[in-house]
Amino acid sequence: MISLGVSTAGCADDPAEASSDGTTGETGGTGDGDGDGDGDGDGDGDGDPTTSGDGDPTTSGDGDGDGDGDGDGDGDGDGDGDGDNPFDGDPFPPMTPGEWVWQPVEGTECRNGDETGVWVRPAADGNTDKLALFMQGGGACFNTFTCFINIPADGGGAPGNGGVFDSQNLDNPLKDHSFVFFPYCTGDVFMGTKMGDVSGHGTQKFFGRLNLEKTLSRIVPTFADATEIVFTGQSAGGFGAAANYDFMAAGWPDAAPVLIDDSAPIFRDQYLSACLQEAWRDLWGVDAALPQDCADCFNPDGGGLANYLGFLQEKYPDRSFGLISSTGDSTIRTFFGYGENDCANINAVFPPSMDAGTYSAGLYDLRDTVLTEPNFGTYIIDSTTHVWTGNLMYSTTVSGVLLADWMAELISGNVTSVEP
């Protein structure tokens, strides 16, 4: 056993353990490492819309951060420059290295009001310096139909040990990392800050961002020594990892977390309608989670969410960011389709999907006009498949570059872009 602290949270029953060999599926159940939860290894997934955004704890002062003229550099007045961490709760109880354990987090709530938590697997060798935070995918809730297919409660088991979680595969750049797995049960791509009404479902608790804050107050003290950190996720979780990067990074101010966003691009308004972005903002309370110093993140018409990615790469020029996406992701095209024709079909059961050519154009437009700094790489695959960081990461090659190798280079600081 390794001691990682003492918990003060209440007890809860562990979800049933999965029999999977991979990452959790996009339906909120467990899967095979392909992100779709169907056990076939094909990575087709089942869906997730998009949003983007972030929270940004800030300090103000007189040059040293506290305004008292003492020059301590962090604003806490103690002169040591180490700052006050915004996530200062109690660490989780001791855990066995190499094994998944359920850690409930008091005060968190799924869309239906159930308590949730996280799955944690400390590194098998007991090291505490390498840490990966993984956010689960699984659709979104913003109309009658999407809320029906989105899981409103935490019903999944442990995420398994395949794909990005495979600690035995020498090609896995995260094989030596401790993992924290965030189940997805709020339908708001981890960005919700309020309750909202949905036709046919009544009032829903879109508390994804609020839950994240409570959970980080347990995770950060548990892994306070982490220096090599990766934020990642698939689909809805990819949006969540990207959108919350700035917020989560505040927990480890001396580290430089890497972002790996799997299948969660956020297009410019020319391709992703502002009316759909506005619907997500209003229902989920996204604006309260966006960094207030991102001036271009708050367009009057509700658009501009893609500007957050530009904000991110410019704020952290020495950090590595990466996006993985198919040229014609059939799942994301379906959700983006709700915004077509000025959101004429936003309440439809099966809206027309975004055209594959339009999606591809939007993806390359994002790369060429927003992700322009050398610290933001892309790995683009000519495919309609959804999510890639399951077992497919070990067999997918684009222009001679294996996806797992591209990820390893990104983590090491060698940021590149690969396309068909």
CATH of the domain at 307: 3.40.50.1820
- pLDDT reported for residue 83: 58
Domain-located, residue 192: yes
- How confident is the model over 169-207, as pLDDT tens digits? 999 999 999 999 999 999 999 999 999 999 999 999 999
- pLDDT reported for residue 52: 37
Q: What is the 3-state secondary structure (H, E, C) of 181-247?
A: EECCCCCCCCCCCEEEEECCCEEEEECHHHHHHHHHHHHHHHCCCCCEEEEEEECHHHHHHHHCHHH
- pLDDT reported for residue 2: 35
Domain-located, residue 37: no
User: Pick from 87, 112, 91, 113: which is nearest to 103 by CA?
Assistant: 91
CA distance 84 to 119: 26
- pLDDT reported for residue 217: 98
Domain-located, residue 418: no
- pLDDT reported for residue 48: 36
Domain-located, residue 7: no
- pLDDT reported for residue 133: 98
Measured in degrees and rounded to the nearest 5, phi and psi for residue 279 equal -60, -40
The one-letter amino acid code at 262 reads D
Domain-located, residue 77: no
The range of the structural domain enclosing residue 388 comes to 101-412
Q: 3-state DSSP helix/strand/coil percent for the chain, to nearest 5?
A: 25, 15, 60
Domain-located, residue 252: yes
Domain-located, residue 92: no
Run of H or E residues at 405: helix 403-412
Which residue ranges of the chain lie beneath pLDDT 70?
1-83, 155
- pLDDT reported for residue 18: 34
- pLDDT reported for residue 156: 78
Domain-located, residue 149: yes
Domain count, the chain: 1
